Amino acid sequence: MINKLMLIALVAVGLSSCAQENGAKMEFNKLTFEEQNVILHKGTERPYTGEYVNHKEDGTYTCKQCDAPLYLSGDKFDSNCGWPSFDDEIEGAVKRVPDADGRRTEIVCANCGGHLGHVFEGEGFTDKNTRHCVNSISLNFEPEKKASSDKTEKAIFAGGCFWGVEYYMEKHKGVISATSGYTGGHVKNPSYQDVLSKKSGHIEAVEIEYDPNITSYEEVAKLFFEIHDPTQVDRQGPDIGEQYRSEVFYLNEGQKQTAEKLVNILKDKGYKVATRISKADTFWKAENYHQDYYDNKGSLPYCHGYTKRF
Instruction: Tell me the pLDDT tens digit for each residue of 212-229.
Output: 999 999 999 999 999 999
CA-nearest of 9, 13, 29, 20 to 236 is 20
What is the per-residue pLDDT across 226-271, written as a single tens digit (0 to 9) for each? Answer: 999 999 999 999 999 999 999 999 999 999 999 999 999 999 999 9
- Residues 189 and 192: their CA atoms lie apart, in Å, by 10
CATH 3.40.50.300: does it fit domain 33-143?
Answer: no
Note the pLDDT of residue 5. Answer: 41
The model's pTM is: 0.55
Rounded CA-CA distance 153/94 in Å is 37
pLDDT at residue 287, rounded to an integer:
93
pLDDT band at 67 (very low <50, low <70, confident <90, very high): very high
Task: Decide which of 201 and 15 is more confident.
Answer: 201
> Quick count: other Cβ atoms within 10 Å of Cβ 288?
9
What does DSSP say about strands 203-210 and 76-77: parallel, antiparallel, or unpaired?
unpaired
CATH number of 153-297, picked from 3.30.2000.10, 3.30.1060.10, 2.40.10.340, 3.40.630.30: 3.30.1060.10
21: pLDDT strictly greater than 90 = no
- pLDDT in the model for residue 1: 42
Burial 162-182 (b: 16+ CB within 10 A, else e): bbbbbbbbbbbebbbbbbbbb
**Pairwise pLDDT comparison (301 vs 145), residue with the higher score:** 301
Coil, helix or strand at residue 33 = helix
What amino acid positions are annotated as catalytic residues? 133, 161
Instruction: Name the percent of the chain lying above pLDDT 70.
Output: 90
β-pairing verdict for 235-236 and 85-86: unpaired
Q: Where is pLDDT greater, at 23 or 78?
A: 78
Q: Where are the domains of the chain?
A: 33-143, 153-297
CA distance 36 to 34: 5
> What is the mean predicted confidence (pLDDT) over 84-99?
96
Give the pLDDT confidence score for residue 150 in this predicted structure.
67
